Amino acid sequence: MTIVHNLGFPRIGAKRELKFALESYWQGASSREALLATGAELRQRHWQHQAGLDLVPVGDFSFYDQVLDMSFTLGNLPERVHDFHGDALDNYFRVARGRSVEEHAACCGGVAAGEMTKWFDTNYHYIVPEFSAGTGFQLDASRLLAQLAEAKAQGVKAKPVLIGPVTYLALGKARDDSDKLALLPSLLSAYSQLLDTLAAQGVEWVQIDEPVLVTELDTDWQHAFNLSYHQLKACRVKILVATYFGQLQDNLYLLANLPVAGVHVDAINGHDDIRPLLNLLPDHKVLSLGIINGRNIWKTDLNQVLDWLEPLAERLGERLWIAPSCSLLHVPVDLDSEQTLDAEIKSWLAFALQKLDELQVLARALREGRVAVKDELAANAAALAARRASPRVHHPAVRQAVAAIDASLGQRNSAYAQRAAEQAALLKLPAYPTTTIGSFPQTAEIRQARSAFKAGQLDKGAYQAAMRAEIARSVREQEALELDVLVHGEAERNDMVEYFGEQLDGYAFSQFGWVQSYGSRCVKPPILFGDIQRPKAMTVEWISYAQSLTAKPMKGMLTGPVTMLNWSFVRDDQPRSVSCTQLALAIRAEVLDLERAGVQVIQIDEAALREGLPLRQSQWQAYLDWAVASFRLSANGVADRTQIHTHMCYSEFNDIIAAIADMDADVITIETARSAMELLDAFEHFKYPNQIGPGVYDIHTPNIPSERHIVQLMRKAAERVPAERLWINPDCGLKTRQWAEVLPALANMVAAAKTLRLAAG
């Protein structure tokens, strides 16, 4: 009998209940007990949704991040929070965001938040574990045991979920450049103790996530896997090692021969691994196949899956388990909640609950034959056929425009040095020019006006007037702060991808399609279902209005094609590169319209460029070729005097710095504050040719950086990048912060720029 299980469930809630509970607690508006109660209610609801499964994940729920949870379970806390002896939950939030409840700030103060970066090639951010040569581990299983007790009380068939020891070490950073693998013996001792603790609670199976197995591992890390699981095999539980997000390739033999009871592989991204793995896997081991895409929202072709799955089920029998490819953390909760989504497009989709339904249909077909689910299979086939035939998906004019692209469209007229001279003469900026990344706080008034407009309670004229008033406020505040290059603040924008997608043909939008990005931050990725066209200008009116309010340069703010692609649910019926090129043509048209309107500085954000890299370095170049070409296509139709900026979010990009230079943006701004400029290490050996703004204000924490701290960071940056090519800016947009935080932080940033200018003479 085929076992059906799940690797993880979205934790934020179908209506973002956890987000609102967290933010209320952080603001001091609700109690710790209220937050804990919301967590318990969500866990209970999510377990009920999964009641039909043979095994249900427990421990996948988190109040911020599952990697941070593992750090606390292992007692691996940064030294800067060791002296805090208050509530453990508050200490947890101090590591996550620098501070816990706001009302405690006066008495306890903030600390540096843990560094944050992307979880493999997803838009989910995790808190990076911190190590040193002296790191020790001390088990604290209280969080996991409490959730396990809740699950047992509710009759849940529990399968605890852990981040694996090798992946945990691989994801962390040694702050003293010590060898992380030297910590493995003491780390394994903590894991052994944890697994034995779970066994004592009657746990039979434990899912240990080791997604680092789909990356390229040298012999030391391969040895770490063998060492780890040969030690953990003595524990009194059955271990399912789970991999996902990519292909095993040269790690197939390693995984197949680990001394564990079962393995899970991603049959969506690693389908080619299945047959060779079958030939390597010992006869006693369970093989779990991730047959439903846990990262995208299109319906699964159930008949096609059964065609290749049925022979495997006959061969493996009860050793075959089926599941989504990865945790469902990366998709929204329930398609049935959608009341306004286009009915035709809705019929092509499956959110988390619908994906679990698809699993159950496949399981019944394997157990009872296809005839038992013939109606479900017929409905599925009809929906897929309708999507393939829909005239809304394919547009010949877009295909013709893509076919007409030639290399000249991706080239600026002149080399950077000549462009920089023209731009300097036009813009007349001081040394260490200051700017922000684009957005200013999305206040309650802005959100209320947007909601009223969408609900038909506010007409278009009144809404536009309200947004213009907010733009005017942003301009006034920036002029008062004496920033050098201004932004309009993006009051009219709900999200940096959704806003543009709403104005492009080929996109659709959900009401409740929220997924977690980090902590309480949720995004609602638009659904890219068809060929992309731009019917009309998207930003020119707003930017032109903002420019009319000031004599200082006003940046036009756009989201780049690669980020539009990577932060959308992307169609799966053509190569991603083709969709990206279509987006680039649309953004290019907007860039040219902004230039014609007199905008002298245009920022094209590519926050997600690094995120789209394949997990294996051998596959990077193919991606970078089309990703960089798409950015250049979008940006390079302008005159030399027009200054092109781009921005990149938290990511390790040192190893692709040459590709970033090849983008040939005049100015790049990057997030470096949490890593104390560590990301600039790449510039010690690579002479980046253009201008760069290393972020000095970590906007993901309520902490306000001091002038002195910013000066120190910029002097550190000047050791790697010539001072004459440095800008000063925050790490990212400011929409999630409050004005009371933003104004003093930016005032310190401008003061730091003045100090640096004086010192430079």
649 annotated among ligand-binding-site residues: yes
118 annotated among ligand-binding-site residues: yes
From CA 758, how far away is CA 431, in angstroms rounded?
Answer: 10
Phi, psi of 690 (to 5 degrees): -110, -165
b vs e for 105-131, b when ≥16 Cβ sit within 10 Å of the residue's Cβ? eeeeebbbbbbbbbbbbbbbbbbbbbb
611 annotated among ligand-binding-site residues: yes
Nearest alpha carbon to residue 516 among 17, 173, 58: 17
| Length in residues, the chain | 761
Element (H, E) at 323: strand 320-324
216 annotated among ligand-binding-site residues: no
Known active-site residue 125: no
Sign of CA dihedral 542, 546, 552, 557: negative
**Strands annotated E in 394-512:** 505-508
671 annotated among ligand-binding-site residues: yes
299 annotated among ligand-binding-site residues: no
CA–chain centroid gap for 462, Å, is 35
192 annotated among ligand-binding-site residues: no
Residue 401: is it exposed, middle or buried by C-beta count within 10 angstroms (0-12/13-18/19+)?
A: middle
437 annotated among ligand-binding-site residues: yes
Which contacts qualify for 742-748: CB closer than 8 Å, 24 or more apart? 742/440, 742/441, 743/477, 743/481, 744/704, 745/697, 745/704, 745/705, 746/436, 746/481, 746/483, 746/697, 747/481, 748/704, 748/705, 748/706, 748/707, 748/710
163 annotated among ligand-binding-site residues: no
108 annotated among ligand-binding-site residues: no
Nearest alpha carbon to residue 663 among 620, 632, 625: 632
From CA 611, how far away is CA 566, in angstroms rounded?
Answer: 8
521 annotated among ligand-binding-site residues: yes
567 annotated among ligand-binding-site residues: yes
- Please report how many Cα atoms fall inside a 13 Å half-sphere around the Cα of residue 530, on the Cβ side: 23
Classify strands 601-605 and 555-559 as parallel, antiparallel or unpaired. Answer: parallel
Alpha-helical (H) ranges within 295-441 are: 302-316, 343-346, 352-368, 374-389, 396-403, 416-427
107 annotated among ligand-binding-site residues: no
Which contacts qualify for 477-481: CB closer than 8 Å, 24 or more apart? 477/440, 477/739, 477/743, 478/436, 478/550, 478/552, 479/550, 479/552, 481/743, 481/746, 481/747, 481/750
The residue from 46, 264, 488, 700 that is catalytic is 700
580 annotated among ligand-binding-site residues: no
Residue 259, both tokens: 């001394």
From CA 539, how far away is CA 496, in angstroms rounded?
Answer: 12
Residue stretches of the annotated binding site for 5-methyltetrahydropteroyltri-L-glutamate = 16-19, 118, 521-522, 567, 611
Feature table: binding site for Zn(2+) = 647, 649, 671, 732
Q: Per the annotation, where are the binding residues for L-methionine?
A: 437-439, 490, 605
User: Annotated binding site, which residues?
Assistant: 16-19, 118, 437-439, 490, 521-522, 567, 605, 611, 647, 649, 671, 732
Q: Which residues are tagged catalytic? A: 700
